[in-house]
A and B are shown apart, each in its own frame.
Chain A
Amino acid sequence: MELFINQVLAGIATGAIYACMALAVVMIYQAIDHLNFAQGEMAMFSTFISWQLMQWGVPYWWAFLLTLALSFAGGIAIERLLFRPLAKAPILTNVAGFIALFAIINSVAGLTWDFTIKQYPTPFGSSPFLGSQLISTHQAGMIGVTVGLLILLYLFFQFTRIGLAMRAAASVPESARLVGINTSWMIALGWGMAAAIGSIAGMLIAPVVFLEPNMMGGVLIYGFAAAVLGGLTSPLGAVVGGFLVGVFENLAGTYIPGVGNELKLPIALALIITVLVVKPAGLFGRPIVKRV
């Protein structure tokens, strides 16, 4: 039993990483109805920028805030320059665009900062949390930030005009234009926010997985899985999905014989697909009724 509880705790700790990433995935999905395959690379790039700032002597929290702002602007710039022209192109063309963006960011980061693994600082310290060996203060901090972010997003979408306008633009774009909302800018804003959230995820994950251009590969897959599991239309679902995936992964690794580290990912994905076959809209998503 103790093993079980320990594994669940450890799962929640890794789950926080996925939850953070899933939140960014859901932000973009809400705005443009696509999964952004380059999301992880964008987050990695942001993290490198913050690292660079710290190398130049900027204190952690200033670097953090500056990176947040830069990422926000960068996300908007990417949307305006690269994806706005593709808005009317077929879906699959957009997916190809994400893959192209992925290749570009990964390659530029590799050339600028090379592929060696770098240490990345944590603002929370890394001593055991409340005496537990399984969760460090950093991981506890990460869970705290993720939950805090979720609450902030909730408040933003429920109680601000811009939040309301963004929701309207995402749910019925034509009606949104008819009440005077500039839906095109709402999409850009969605990109900016997703990039900023992604940068937070990157900066929190980097102390755990270390900083390098390929650090987000695996994380993004789990982030997608978490977002899909929770329901792509629900930020809350994304976070819950993230924690669930983390726990799934750990329990599968512990209790299913023959599942080493190698098979953890496929098993987690298989479990998620099973859930989706039973409940296609995800745990918290809105069911979508199709008509002819």
Chain B
Amino acid sequence: MSAVEDVVTEAPAVEAVPKRSMTLGYGTSLVVLAALILTPLFVKNFIIFQMTQILYFGLAVLALNILTGGSGQFSLGQSAFYAVGAYTSAILMEHVGMNYALTLPVAGAICFGFGFLFGQPALRLSGVYLALATFALAVAMPQLLKLGYFEHWTGGVQGLVVTKPDAPFGLPMSQDMWLYYFTLAITIAIYIFSVNLLKSRSGRAFMAIRDNEIAASAMGVDVALYKTLAFGVSAGITGVAGGLGAIAVQFVAPDSFTITLAIQLFLGMVVGGVGWLPGSIVGAAFIIFVPNIAEGISKGLSGAVFGVLLFLVIFLVPHGARQVAIVAQQLIGKLKKT
């Protein structure tokens, strides 16, 4: 070891978000909820499908947000957890014949365990090193899923086709609409769980670690436990999102879960605003719609258009949708006064 060391007071990797601003106000929440419940009644099936997509991608972004915005750890490997969740649901439904709704808690639990275990070696890594480790996981996952050894279960390169569930109790709604409300219910449940988690003792421990790890451990926070716990929770939620995704798309295959997916989730978090949970939905909408919009503007240059749009977003609002929300709130406040 060299005698000279760089001594730094490390700025937190993620800017601190005051706890209260991590969520929406009561009134706003109700308005958003009403919009989410009512919109499907007036739009076409394809749009309902896209809204379902936004919800489960939103869940996956939310999971990353708990990890990064909450505990300050990076992950480029969320696609791996997502894949495990999706495959768990698909295999249980198709090979075991389990009810689709029951597969989701299993997917969540398996991913929680997986994330918790992965968090152990990741403990010693931070910043770019953790990014590289999680990145490696994301790169390895499609290859592992293709392995001939598991082919009986995973279907190898071909993947697995998943049956789409009908609405239960003879409810008069299309499969798409049922799946949307099913996903919405789960999303709301997980959102409420996440908000409460971040408000709890554990949530405070996450944020203490995010803001200053050394100070947190000096205050008696079990840094190792909470860091791995954050990984576990994040992976678990991502797993549920993956399961929902498998049911909605009716198909799982190794190449749906490449590093591109992990990068999309990451972008979703940045666009939504790191650490701002409601932003996860905005971020998910961005990663689903903006590539389509880019394609619409120019087929040959869709990548470039996407890049330019992304640059515009981060130039104009470097803190993502959270910043827009804060500005909007101030504007409304001013309007009320006058």
Contact = CB atoms under 8 A, between A and B. Distances in A.
A and B touch in the complex (CB under 8 A): yes
A273 B10 CA distance: 23
User: Looking at A35, A90, A265, A269, which has the most chain B CB atoms within 10 Å of its CB?
Assistant: A90
Given A96-B270, A99-B267, A277-B124, A291 B7 contact: yes
B129 A90 contact: no
Nearest to B215: A292
Interface in A95-126: 95-97, 99-104, 106-108, 110-111
Interface in B299-325: 300-308, 310-311, 314-315, 318-319
Contacts of B305: 107
B86 to A, nearest CB: 19
A266 interface: yes
B139 A266 contact: yes
Given A86-B314, A273-B136, A111 B143 contact: no
A290 B307 contact: no
A85 interface: yes
A58 interface: no
Given A288-B5, A292-B215, A292-B218, A262 B143 contact: yes
Nearest to A229: B132
A91 B269 CA distance: 13
B192 interface: no
B187 to A, nearest CB: 24
A93 B10 CA distance: 18
B125 interface: yes
Contact of A103 (B146, B212, B274, B303): B303
A266 B270 CA distance: 27
Contacts of A273: 121, 125, 132-133, 136
B132 A272 contact: yes
B1 A100 contact: no
B125 A106 contact: no
Contacts of A290: 7-10, 213-214
Interface residue SS majority, chain B: helix
Contact of B15 (A90, A95, A103, A225): A90
Interface residue SS majority, chain A: helix
Contacts of B257: none
B8 A289 contact: yes
Contacts of B106: none
Interface string B207-245: 000001111001000000000000000000000000000
A96 B318 CA distance: 10
A179 to B, nearest CB: 19
Interface in B61-99: 68
Interface string B269-280: 111001000000
Interface residues on A, range: 35 or more
26 contacts: A85-B315, A90-B14, A90-B318, A92-B270, A93-B270, A93-B314, A93-B319, A96-B310, A99-B307, A100-B307, A100-B310, A103-B310, A107-B301, A107-B303, A107-B304, A228-B129, A263-B140, A266-B136, A269-B135, A272-B136, A276-B132, A277-B124, A280-B124, A280-B129, A287-B6, A290-B8
A286 interface: yes
B142 to A, nearest CB: 9
Contact of A106 (B2, B140, B303): B303
B13 interface: yes
B43 interface: no
A9 B132 CA distance: 27
Contacts of B300: 107, 110-111
Nearest to B303: A107
The 7 closest A-B pairs by CB, nearest first: A107-B303, A266-B140, A269-B136, A104-B307, A103-B307, A100-B310, A107-B304
A24 to B, nearest CB: 16
B304 A108 contact: yes
Nearest to A91: B13
A232 B128 contact: yes
A211 to B, nearest CB: 18
A126 to B, nearest CB: 30
A266 B7 CA distance: 33
Interface string B239-271: 000000000000000000000000100110111
A89 interface: yes
A25 to B, nearest CB: 10
